[in-house]
Amino acid sequence: MCFLLGIDIGTTGTKAVLITEKGKLVAKATAEYPLLTPKPTWAEQPPSDWWVATMKVISKITRGSTAKARQIKGIGLSGQMHGSVFLDEKNRVIRPAILWCDQRTQSECDEITSTIGFKRLLELTCNPALTGFTAPKVLWLRNHEPRHWDKVRRILLPKDYIRFLLTGEFATEVSDASGTLLFDVKNRRWSDTVLRELHIPTEFLPQSYESFEVSGRISRRAAEETGLVEGTPVVGGGGDQAAGAVGNGIVERGIISSVIGTSGVLFAFSEQPEYDAEGRLHTFCHAVPNKWHMMGVTLAAGGSFRWLRDTLCQEEVTLAHRKKVDPYELMTAKAMKVSAGSEGLIFLPYMIGERTPYPDPNARGVFLGLTLRHSKAHLIRSVMEGVTFSVRDSLEIMRSLKIPVREIRASGGGGKSKLWRQLQADVFNAEVVTTNIDEGPAFGVALLAAVGAGIYSSVEEACKATIRVSTKTSPHVANAQLYDEYYDVYRSLYPLLKEKFRQLAVLP
């Protein structure tokens, strides 16, 4: 029997899964690390944390299963997108990586838009300049830390730094590269035009592969450090959203995914590199060869829920520890006792700025409608509803662009939670389904490794052989009607508060 290993370098931890060629989960492991915020709205991590975590999860996987390292026929890598790892001439990390949720680069976004032009940038990269993307981070380093910029010889994305340590190769793949704003998404290659006009040396960037292609092999040094077998192939893999879409079977038109993880993402498969002329949605290369996807992103979806847990729900955390259950289970149990609409309480989940449909780093979280009647349970449900409204923002844009929506597949925390599945069905006024797979991007890149190893002839074949619908949740008619009214109030709030957010951002 042969096995495939998938590794996902996430924002709060690294996850690995080991599966059989039929997609059966054999073992899984996670290792957490902190998210550093040296200043408000900044987000960084030392890449060494990812490597330590990667070695831990590989060790747990190999020790926790009967599979032998020599039976692992392929490895896939996924990871948080847009992060920037800067290496010097000796391939040493120069400074902590600046992450996808970092908001420091608005002036660099303005600089890019001014240099290239809004419409021209969309034509070249299919995307506008947003604070989360990689290119503004590169310019920020050049503008604000010139002593570090002078040392830069390589720029890598998070999972690709781990690839370098595993294989010695500087490589990326098309789905993750799409989120740099330096990539010609239509033609699936680095954009010579953007690189030239932004004065970023082409040689700083790694070679780009399709997601299923072998990009390197486990080196002797990595084999000694991890226990993997030297020469094991490592495929391109995928950015977390494209990889998660593969792991959820989003490989045909009409099936979209709603992922509520740290961020919230609505993801639609596309046969062509179409893009939103207003730049509200992202268009990236899919992990499926010669296919693309469009997606909308709310930055602090599960992140808002985690904030609520950490700041107001320590009682639930303590009780969960004693009962040996997830604190979120106790939180959602309380939320289920509150009626739809949280009795007039609305939450805006802009805890670290926002991306879709408002690319505004100054946006902030808001509770509107608090009264003496509201309890912690109301706050919990309101946060869940507000996050779901934010995902609906992306759905409404897709509907306006006539993107077919035949089936919505929920995953992440929003797929595991029965309440959150029902909230999505009610707020979207559409049936929401889940699949038999809930291992996310790590499972997706394990499937890509299976294609790269020749076990399957295509990504589509791999998904068809391993993924099937397992649950269906239909909307409650009365709740769907009520949420339409609440959503009208929700979407009216940002325009009213935009200027106040800006004023708050400059106050000491």
Catalytic residues: 240
Going 348 to 304 to 446 to 219, the CA torsion angle's sign is positive
Nearest 10 degrees: Cα torsion 228, 230, 235, 239: 50
Determine the Cα–Cα distance for residues 236 and 250; give it in Å rounded to an integer.
Answer: 18
Determine the Cα–Cα distance for residues 429 and 62; give it in Å rounded to an integer.
Answer: 44
Going 303 to 304 to 310 to 313, the CA torsion angle's sign is negative
Determine the Cα–Cα distance for residues 139 and 23; give it in Å rounded to an integer.
Answer: 42
Going by their DSSP bridges, the two strands 25-32 and 207-209 should be labelled as unpaired
DSSP codes, 14-39: EEEEEEETT--EEEEEEEE-PPB-SS
Determine the Cα–Cα distance for residues 71 and 38; give it in Å rounded to an integer.
Answer: 43
Residue 449: which H helix or E strand, with range?
A: helix 440-452
Beta strands in 225-362 (DSSP E): 233-235, 238-239, 255-260, 264-270, 282-285, 292-298, 346-348
Q: Contact at 8 Å (CB) between 134 and 82?
A: yes
On the 0-12 / 13-18 / 19+ scale of CB atoms within 10 A, 176 is buried
How far is CA 325 from each of CA 27, 249, 252, 319, 320, rounded to the nearest angstrom? 20, 29, 36, 9, 5
Amino acid at 352: I
Output DSSP code: residue 65: S
How far is CA 142 from each of CA 108, 130, 152, 189, rounded to the nearest angstrom? 10, 17, 10, 24
Determine phi and psi for 397, rounding to 5 degrees.
-65, -45
